[in-house]
Amino acid sequence: GEEVAQTPKHLVRGEGQKAKLYCAPIKGHSYVFWYQQVLKNEFKFLISFQNENVFDETGMPKERFSAKCLPNSPCSLEIQATKLEDSAVYFCASSQFSDWSLTSNQPQHFGDGTRLSIL
Amino acid sequence: SQQGEEDPQALSIQEGENATMNCSYKTSINNLQWYRQNSGRGLVHLILIRSNEREKHSGRLRVTLDTSKKSSSLLITASRAADTASYFCATDAFGNEKLTFGTGTRLTIIP
Contact across the interface for A109 and B45, Cβ inside 8 Å: yes
A to B CB pairs, distance under 8 Å:
64
pLDDT-derived band at A104 (thresholds 50, 70, 90) equals low
- In sign, the C-alpha dihedral spanning A16, A53, A75, A93 is positive
Is residue A25 less than 8 Å (CB to CB) from chain B? no
Residues of chain B with pLDDT under 70: 1-3
What pLDDT does B93 receive?
85
What pLDDT does A41 receive?
74
At B66, is the secondary structure helix, strand, or coil?
Answer: strand
Residue of A nearest to B97 (CA): A105
Q: H or E stretch including A7? A: strand A5-7
**Rounded Cα–Cα distance for residues B107 and A21 (Å):** 30
Is residue A4 less than 8 Å (CB to CB) from chain B? yes
pLDDT-derived band at A23 (thresholds 50, 70, 90) equals very high
Is residue A110 less than 8 Å (CB to CB) from chain B? yes
Question: Is 80 exceeded by the pLDDT of residue A99?
Answer: no
Choice between A24 and A1, residue whose per-residue pLDDT is larger: A24
Choice between A37 and A42, residue whose per-residue pLDDT is larger: A37
What pLDDT does A106 receive?
81
Contact across the interface for B97 and A105, Cβ inside 8 Å: yes
- Residue A6, Cβ neighbours under 10 Å: how many? 24
Question: What is the arithmetic mean of pLDDT over A19-42?
Answer: 92
pLDDT, tens digit, 9 for 90 and up, residues A39-94: 767 899 999 999 899 999 999 998 999 999 998 899 999 999 999 999 999 999 99
Contact across the interface for B45 and A108, Cβ inside 8 Å: yes
